[in-house]
Chains A and B, each alone.
Chain A
Amino acid sequence: MALKMVKGSIDRIFDKNLQDLVRGVRSHREDEAKYISSCIDEIKQELKQDNIAVKANAVCKLTYLQMLGYDISWAAFNIVEVMSSSKFTYKRIGYLAASQCFHDGTDVIMLTTNQIRKDLSSPNQYDTGVALTGLSCFVTPDLARDLANDIMTLMSHTKPYIRKKAVLIMYKVFLKYPESLRPAFPRLKEKLDDPDPGVQSAAVNVICELARRNPRNYLSLAPLFFKLMTSSTNNWVLIKIIKLFGALTPLEPRLGKKLIEPLTNLIHSTSAMSLLYECVNTVIADCCVCVKTDTCPRPPQLCVQKLRILIEDSDQNLKYLGLLAMSKILKTHPKSVQSHKDLVLQCLDDKDESIRLRALDLLYGMVSKKNLMEIVKKLMVHVDKAEGTTYRDELLTKIIDICSQSNYQYITNFEWYISILVELTRLEGTRHGHLIASQMLDVAVRVKAIRGFAVVQMATLLDNTTLLAGSGQHKSICEVLYAAAWICGEFSEHLEDPVHTLEAMLRPKVATLPGHIQAIYIQNAAKLFAAVLNGQQGTPDCQTMQESSQLLIDRLPLFVQSADLEVQERASCILQLVKFIQKLQHKEVEVGEEVTALFAGELNPVAPKAQKKVPVPDGLDLDAWINEPPSESESEDEKPVAVFAEEELRHARPHHTEVDEKELARRREARKQEQANNPFYIKASPTSQKGYQDSTGVEHIPVVQIDLSVPLKVPGGWMSTSDKYLKLEEERRQRERKERGKKEKKKKKKREKRSGMGRRHDSGPESEEDIAPAHMVDIVTEEMPENALSSDDDEKDPNDPYRALDVCDIQGNLQNGSQVVVSIIFENKSTSFLKSMEFNVLDSLNSKLQRPEGSGPHDGLTVPFQLPPGVSNEARFIFSVQSIVMPQRLKGTLTFIVKADDSSTHEKLDFKLHFTCSSYLITTPCYSDTFAKLLESADLKGTSVRLQEVSLPFHHLLAKICFHHHFSVVERIDSCASLYSRSIQGHHVCLLVKYAHQTVTIDAKCDESSLLGNVLEEIKKTFSQS
């Protein structure tokens, strides 16, 4: 009571105290700025007074104004004055103001050092406390340097209140003045054993934060923390300790193993969700480390169970975090997460959008061939229900991401996918029209067998006017029409009623579309027109032809007037062409073929590395100058780059000859320049660059497996068609499953071992010679584009010294379980439809065809597509090969059903697969110094061969060896060259090729003599054939 009276009387001393200011600001909502500027004037007056109480009151008010967003930096000196007051009341206010508005750039901080030092050593612990608290906010490198010793002394203060603050602030001091860490650390470590739990936890806190920045220095503390972890009962401290271990385990994987048990115990026993979550997260992170080092592939089953409980909880926060952690597990243990698909799907119904988005992220990684359709169906339902376009667009992109991931790996039925895409076009106001469009184009171009279906669907889209009508407000969705028009034009042979589609593409409303789409419409209308002419050719009725020419002549002038240059140009060009054609038609000249010739040629997808497939033709010297080499003066431009490259090289390989380096650097630079300037040079996608050891060439080949067991039917209009395909697909799978089931009963379950452990390697066994001739199916086993390793040459900097290291490092991993991928192109040369193809190979002891789980060792593999007449498609089969030192020949059969109009017959085709030893070699670049070391080592055994009467130029000879036998040239001097290659199991093969007087001598060394013998034999054969 007395206190209040006193307070009241003191308030009267000032014009306005803090409460008055707050009240005033609240009552002057309309003219806040004006009111505050008057207050600031008042404050300035107050600050001029000598009374420290008045000053402190003014500073307190300023602190409040600072929070409202007003600049108070002008009062910095007054703040220091208040800080220096001997009275705790004012000191407290001064330090508060300083901590709120001082920063590294505040000049007056320099003046505070002595005052702060005085406060730190004050007999009053609250003075010290307030100074430490303030300092923790505004400590600068200078303050840290000057006060580090004082604070260090405070770490041993008698009062725990001061000790804990001093320990905590040390972290800030270390950050600002790292030199203080070394002398202070022993004392900090002592504090881990402080009798006061607050001080102890502060020390844990600081060390944990330090360890997160630089874990290596704190590994030695692991045993101490391990003891603390098992003894501490404070959850917040436990969490910090666990976090610290989380930072240490990547450096010391054994620690991870040791932690599993105490963490598991905590997971079981704790009721604190935060601790549980921390433990689970750390176990997950540990497992990631373990997976990397291959020490403990134990799936975190317990974690998944606990996360499931979190996700099932009604608390949104736990749900969210559960999903978040789940997605971390997904990266390393996808299997253990996949079984909780139901739960994740449930989360899509959650009212919280952030939870739904998390669930979507998870779904992306959970799809498989089996569940894709089901998951997408669910997502489509959500698309329909979704409120707000942002979330709907997110769903849309996720659906497309999920379906198109890794080259449509999980799509078994492309009709279904096209129908999904068509359904998605109904979304109003989506921003992702271009995304849908590019998917349509991609699928139609790359999946040949789907084109018929796609074209019919696209024709329906073109015919439908809703998209056109919507083009006004929502520009994006009409991008779909771009794809539709192009697909209908390009693959017009599949159209049922081309004249009708032509008419649809030339409607006046089209002129409301964006220019680039109109241009595509016109160009493809011309293609369609050509198709109509060609289709009607030879029929007596030429009315359709004339009608369609007239249609174009009538409609095109509208587009000739277009404001868009591209549209205008194309329209007028084609208009003139059609007029000319009409003239010819009147003279009854057949023009169909000529017009079609305008658009002849099929657009095929080309792999980014397809160029590698093309062997260097005889007589072409890639190294020869086409034009005279540029003069000295010209090459000066390149000099700085070359010098840089040279330095780098010298650093990496000091004993390499200088001339070669320069030459190499120059060539490389020239090549880079050339590639950068060449618009046709397709740069590799960033994904193909990472991990040059485990990327396989197969991934980059745009061949998609398709399955066409459903009849190609045209669904009408806008009805939901995807469901139908879903159902058909399910039925088909059921049938298959039944059949598989029958087989399984007869045979014991076969143990599947080592699948996926080894590195996949593609190589194509060649030899067409064993294939029975003149049959319906032609199997062309084909050389794959040289595998990923060789084709990475132009993307990776060969200067990188780590590459050489890599080469030596991996061989151990490759030792067992080698897999070979064989790609086979099936081409149907007959006129009948082929289906139910089954590919089977008689396994040898050494080479086995990898069959799906559950099938017997003699079962054939269903070729995942059917072949209409004249169509070819590629299928890949994986073989596991035990020993690669001998060539292998495997007998196989292909059975299939030939479907004629009235009957169908079952046919069989025998073939042999020839696995040459060269096909087990991977083109691996090698440096001359590594090469030299290899040759010196005693492990390699040598042999040599001599090839007589070789009349090729030397570089052709080298190119041939490199191309057919997967070698890379290490060094070439005149007519002598060293070549290197490596087998998939890590054998080194070194060749020294000399060429003189039409005789080639190859001295070879390899750590496996029979492999070497066979490779040489194959090289010999290559040259005897030519």
Chain B
Amino acid sequence: MRFMLLFSRQGKLRLQKWYTAAAERDRKKMVRELMQVVLARKPKMCSFLEWRDLKIVYKRYASLYFCCAVEEQDNELVTLEVIHRFVELLDKYFGSVCELDIIFNFEKAYFILDEFLMGGEIQDTSKKSVLKAIEQADLLQEVAMIQSVVLSLGQ
């Protein structure tokens, strides 16, 4: 996978993850271009399109578009399953996720994605173990947080 984008129906970027290095300017241009192409598609259309030398797989969940760019030999249906799995993970974590959850907790969404995919490859096929890893890391964070608050209050 080359990159994954999440954007809203209004064309606002909500999440972006690039698995190959690209200059900031090129990234912006690609994002803008791709959002235009995907948003112009009619609801009944299939989820795949050919764009530049990439295959784009996208799916709309409520007001959010999940959009992945994969290479020529990659399997579109697997990519669709990856998107769906990510949505499931978000759903489990936030409890019926909505766009606002991702806007306000965008760093959490990244953490989940990073536990699920790494370098564009599926890291763990099991939902359970991804969520477990996230929970444990969060717990670590909360503990650290309490410590620092206690520290700062003590000052």
Contact = CB atoms under 8 A, between A and B. Distances in A.
A854 interface: no
A549 B129 CA distance: 93
A234 B107 CA distance: 30
B76 A321 contact: yes
Interface stretch (A89-97, A259-267, A799-807, A923-931): A89-97
A206 B46 CA distance: 30
Contacts of B107: 18, 60, 63, 93, 96
A209 B148 CA distance: 44
Contacts of B119: 136-137, 168-169, 171-172
Contacts of A9: 149, 153
B124 A164 contact: yes
Contacts of B111: 92, 96
Interface stretch (A64-72, A219-227, A943-951, A971-979): A64-72
B103 A22 contact: yes
Interface in B28-71: 28, 42, 44-49
A274 interface: yes
A644 interface: no
Nearest to B150: A6
Interface string B12-23: 011110110111
A239 B75 contact: yes
A77 B123 CA distance: 30
A53 B148 contact: yes
A352 B44 contact: yes
A655 interface: no
Contacts of B125: 197-198, 201, 234, 236-237
A10 B148 contact: yes
B123 to A, nearest CB: 6
Contact of B146 (A6, A18, A281): A6
A902 interface: no
Contacts, number: 165
A132 to B, nearest CB: 8
Given A317-B77, A352-B44, A88 B13 contact: no
A321 B50 CA distance: 12
Contacts of A60: 107
B133 interface: yes
A793 B152 CA distance: 86
Interface in A59-88: 60, 63-64, 67-69, 71, 73, 87-88
Considering residues A19, A93, A136, A277, which has the most beta carbons from chain B within 10 angstroms of its beta carbon? A136
B94 interface: no
A354 B73 CA distance: 19
A355 B76 CA distance: 15
Contacts of B19: 136-137
B117 to A, nearest CB: 9
Contact of B144 (A71, A73, A87, A201): A87
B86 to A, nearest CB: 14
B73 A136 contact: no
Given A9-B153, A89-B144, A172-B119, A352 B133 contact: no
A866 B73 CA distance: 52
A88 B122 contact: no
A316 B45 contact: yes
Contact of A168 (B22, B23, B121): B121
Given A22-B104, A53-B152, A352-B46, A71 B140 contact: no
A791 interface: no
Nearest to B74: A243
Contacts of B106: 63-64, 67
A842 to B, nearest CB: 56
Given A89-B141, A168-B118, A198-B125, A273 B24 contact: no
Contacts of B81: 236, 274
A261 B12 CA distance: 49
B64 to A, nearest CB: 14
B140 A316 contact: no
Nearest to A168: B118
Contacts of B137: 88, 92, 126, 129-130
Interface string B109-153: 011001100110111111001000100110011101110110011
A209 B144 CA distance: 39
Contact of B145 (A51, A89, A101): A89
A274 B48 CA distance: 14
A825 to B, nearest CB: 47
A126 B136 CA distance: 8
A133 B48 contact: no
B76 A317 contact: yes
Interface residues of A, number: 76
A317 B56 CA distance: 12
Nearest to A51: B152
B92 to A, nearest CB: 18
B80 interface: yes
Given A169-B118, A354-B45, A277 B24 contact: no
A353 B124 CA distance: 36
Interface string A121-139: 0001010011011001110
Given A165-B123, A352-B44, A137 B141 contact: no
A71 B16 CA distance: 15
A966 B73 CA distance: 47
Interface string A431-474: 00000000000000000000000000000000000000000000
A161 interface: yes
A103 B140 CA distance: 29
Contacts of A234: 125
Interface string A282-296: 000000000000000
A353 B45 contact: yes
Given A71-B24, A96-B111, A137 B18 contact: yes
A161 B152 contact: no
Contacts of A739: none
Given A316-B46, A320-B48, A354-B46, A278 B152 contact: no
Contacts of A3: 142, 146
Contact of B77 (A212, A243, A273): A273
Contacts of A133: 114-115, 118
Contacts of A169: 118-119
A164 B124 CA distance: 8
A590 to B, nearest CB: 66
A404 B114 CA distance: 53
A205 interface: yes
Contact of A103 (B23, B114, B141, B153): B23
Contact of A198 (B44, B103, B114, B124): B124
Contacts of B21: 103-104, 138
Interface string A616-653: 00000000000000000000000000000000000000
A317 B144 contact: no
Nearest to A103: B21
A333 interface: no
Contacts of B153: 9
B121 A317 contact: no
Given A6-B145, A69-B28, A320 B78 contact: no
Contacts of B110: 96, 100
A527 B48 CA distance: 55
Nearest to B119: A136
Nearest to A69: B28
Contacts of B144: 87-89
11 contacts: A6-B146, A67-B14, A92-B137, A96-B107, A96-B114, A101-B24, A137-B19, A172-B119, A201-B122, A281-B75, A353-B42
Interface of A: 3, 6-7, 9-10, 13, 18-19, 22, 26, 51, 53, 60, 63-64, 67-69, 71, 73, 87-89, 92-93, 96, 99-101, 103-104, 124, 126, 129-130, 132-133, 136-138, 161, 164-165, 168-169, 171-172, 197-198, 201-202, 205-206, 209, 212, 234, 236-237, 239, 243, 246, 273-274, 277-278, 281, 316-317, 319-321, 351-355
Given A71-B24, A92-B141, 4 more contacts: A60-B107, A64-B106, A69-B28, A126-B137
